[in-house]
Amino acid sequence: MVFSRVIYPSSKNNTFKDAKEFIEQPNFELQHIYRALSVLGEESNFIQEKIYDNSINVIKRNTNILYYDCTNYFFEIEEGDEVIECSNKTLRQYGKSKENRPNPIVQMGLFIDGDGYPLAFDITKGNTNEQTTLIPIEKRIMEDFKNCKFITCTDGGLSSTKNRKFNSCDDRAFVSTYSIKKLKKADKEWALKKSGWRIVGKNKFINLDELLKDQEAIEKHYNTIFYKEMPFQESTIKDQRLIVTYSLKYHYYLAKIRNRQIDKAKRQIENKKIKEKLNSHDYRRFIQKIKTTHDGEIAEETYLSLNEQLINKESQYDGFYAVCTNLDDNVESIVTLNKKRWKIEESFRIIKTDFKARPVYLQRDDRIEAHFLTCFISLLIQRIIEKRLEEKYTTHEIIKTLRDFKFYEVKGEGYAPTYIRTKLTDDLHSISGFNTSYEIVNQTKMKKIIKSTKS
């Protein structure tokens, strides 16, 4: 199931059929896959623990820093599971889909370590508040993985006061994205004020208004991170810091995206099309409907126009980014640590896109859990391969090459390679300790290769 998830990602029925394409033929039936899923699902936590223990012998694990995030996966069904006592079908529930689909979903919470290797995951009901998923899986990591000292990095959606308080105890710490828009009025004014900014390692204060007037300074500091910080007061958490950063590169990036959305909104206004926005980031948020005349009377028609007030309100946040933390490290270290959160977002993309983890075609909770366990193990293997290849290749390039590793069976002689030899195939052979590119691989040698890969 793991091999097929990487090479031929599909339903369990198709996995059974595709396994017959392997050189080592399966000696089981389709029913055995489903029965195995039940066992794997029930033992998921134990398996994750043992995978971690065994991985230490293969790779170096940086568990001092942990990144956590949530996503969800949809089912192509119309009704969610009815919650009945003793039922084995409760996970599939309606919730806020990341893809805005009107289908029941399940939610995955995933921890990866500081080097991007998956550490642990949990599956919860689709209607679960994602903020409540963090602490239970952290407690499991502390108990099962014997790891009580770590820094947890999360995005703003998971940055509740309760979660930060939990990671303010013992040897734990946190770095969480914090929405500037949600700051108190005085703190927000301080965060967006154009004076009082610094560059890491320099004591000179910089005014952003003056910077943006000087083209030479803009070019010089295009990739510079400016910052300011202050103590962040919350009654239940001590020694918090709020660090606000500003980047010209990020400023122009956000402005470019918004301008594209404004252009789309203008075209819709010109075409007089009225459609509801899908989410808070939809370009149609910039279209306002006017249903009254200037005299305040009820209009016969609905008029569309750009919401200039909203555009101006959003633009004031361009380039600004904030995190709160209880670490006393320097600002550069904290900003660098937080930047690596993209690795967990990429992990979700790999599971959803490359491993085609959704839609899910299973019903029972234990089998749904097992489905994502195979995705989790596949992700770990993929990350190990990437690291051993020194991250010279993209995930897509590696997976495509693995899928193209095919042979033609020559009766009585062995297996002739039919794939195209490339630098990547050579590197894969190099890290694997064998090579199949040069000649027909006899059956004895192929059996040894298969046995060596298992060990």
Does 268 fall in a domain? yes
Q: Please give the single-letter amino acid code of residue 260.
A: R
pLDDT band at 302 (very low <50, low <70, confident <90, very high): confident
pLDDT of res. 393? 95
Within this chain, do residues 266 and 370 fall inside the same structural domain, yes or no?
A: no
Instruction: Among 45-49, 93-97, 301-305, 358-362, name the most confident range.
Output: 45-49
In sequence order, what are the residues at sequence separation of 6 or more whose Cβ sits closer than 8 angstroms to the Cβ of residue 240?
A: 164, 231, 232, 233, 234, 324, 325, 326
What backbone torsions phi and psi does residue 119 show, to the nearest 5 degrees? -110, -45
The arithmetic mean of pLDDT across residues 396-412, rounded, is 92
pLDDT band at 192 (very low <50, low <70, confident <90, very high): very high
Rounded percentage of the chain residues whose pLDDT exceeds 70:
95
| Count of other CB atoms within 10 angstroms of residue 380 | 22
Cα Rg, the chain, nearest whole Å = 26
Rounded CA separation 241/173 (Å): 12
Within this chain, do residues 354 and 268 fall inside the same structural domain, yes or no?
A: no
pLDDT of res. 222? 94
The predicted-structure confidence for 329-343, as pLDDT tens digits, reads as follows 999 999 999 989 999
Point out the least confidently predicted range of 85-89, 122-126, 242-246, 281-285.
85-89
Q: Which residue has the higher pLDDT, 219 or 26?
A: 219
Does 66 fall in a domain? yes
pLDDT band at 189 (very low <50, low <70, confident <90, very high): very high
pLDDT band at 37 (very low <50, low <70, confident <90, very high): very high
What backbone torsions phi and psi does residue 274 show, to the nearest 5 degrees? -120, 110
Does 330 fall in a domain? no
Within this chain, do residues 71 and 122 fall inside the same structural domain, yes or no?
A: yes
Residue 296 above 80 pLDDT?
Answer: no
Rounded CA separation 37/381 (Å): 20
Residue 242 above 90 pLDDT?
Answer: yes
Alpha helices in 195-350 (DSSP H): 208-213, 215-220, 248-270, 308-315, 331-339, 342-349
Within this chain, do residues 311 and 349 fall inside the same structural domain, yes or no?
A: no
Mean pLDDT of the chain: 90
Contact 109, 137 (CB under 8 A): yes
pLDDT of res. 224? 93
Rounded percentage of the chain residues whose pLDDT exceeds 90:
66
The arithmetic mean of pLDDT across residues 119-132, rounded, is 95
pLDDT of res. 450? 84
Answer with the one of 315, 333, 361 that is the final residue of a domain.
315
pLDDT of res. 52? 95
Rounded CA separation 304/287 (Å): 6
The arithmetic mean of pLDDT across residues 322-332, rounded, is 92
Answer with the one of 281, 315, 349 that is the final residue of a domain.
315
pLDDT of res. 295? 63
Within this chain, do residues 294 and 358 fall inside the same structural domain, yes or no?
A: no
Within this chain, do residues 305 and 382 fall inside the same structural domain, yes or no?
A: no
pLDDT band at 297 (very low <50, low <70, confident <90, very high): low
Judged by DSSP in three states, 436 sits in coil
pLDDT of res. 449? 87
Q: Which residue has the higher pLDDT, 190 or 203?
A: 190
pLDDT of res. 239? 85
Within this chain, do residues 73 and 10 fall inside the same structural domain, yes or no?
A: yes
pLDDT of res. 157? 87
Contact 283, 262 (CB under 8 A): yes
Does 381 fall in a domain? yes
Within this chain, do residues 428 and 369 fall inside the same structural domain, yes or no?
A: no
Q: Which residue has the higher pLDDT, 412 or 382?
A: 382
pLDDT band at 269 (very low <50, low <70, confident <90, very high): confident
Within this chain, do residues 11 and 139 fall inside the same structural domain, yes or no?
A: yes
Residue 276 above 80 pLDDT?
Answer: no
Residue 290 above 80 pLDDT?
Answer: no
The predicted-structure confidence for 59-88, as pLDDT tens digits, reads as follows 999 999 999 999 999 998 877 787 766 667
Does 331 fall in a domain? no
The predicted-structure confidence for 341-361, as pLDDT tens digits, reads as follows 999 999 999 999 999 999 888
pLDDT band at 35 (very low <50, low <70, confident <90, very high): very high
Q: Please give the single-letter amino acid code of residue 92.
A: R
Judged by DSSP in three states, 74 sits in strand
Does 186 fall in a domain? no
The predicted-structure confidence for 438-455, as pLDDT tens digits, reads as follows 889 998 898 888 887 766
Q: Reduce the secondary structure of 375-426 to three states and give it as a string.
A: HHHHHHHHHHHHHHCCCCCCHHHHHHHHHHCCEEEECCCEEEECCCCCHHHH
Does 32 fall in a domain? yes
Does 222 fall in a domain? no
If one counts the domains in the chain, the total is: 3
Within this chain, do residues 382 and 305 fall inside the same structural domain, yes or no?
A: no
Three-point CA angle 130, 156, 235, nearest 5°: 95
pLDDT of res. 298? 61
Rounded CA separation 321/250 (Å): 9
Instruction: Give the residue among 279, 300, 206, 292 at the shortest CA–CA distance from 246.
Output: 206
pLDDT of res. 85? 62
Residue 262: which domain range?
A: 250-315
Rounded CA separation 101/94 (Å): 10
Q: Which residue has the higher pLDDT, 98 or 388?
A: 388
Residue 235 above 70 pLDDT?
Answer: no
Within this chain, do residues 363 and 424 fall inside the same structural domain, yes or no?
A: no
Within this chain, do residues 150 and 12 fall inside the same structural domain, yes or no?
A: yes
pLDDT band at 402 (very low <50, low <70, confident <90, very high): very high
The arithmetic mean of pLDDT across residues 216-232, rounded, is 93
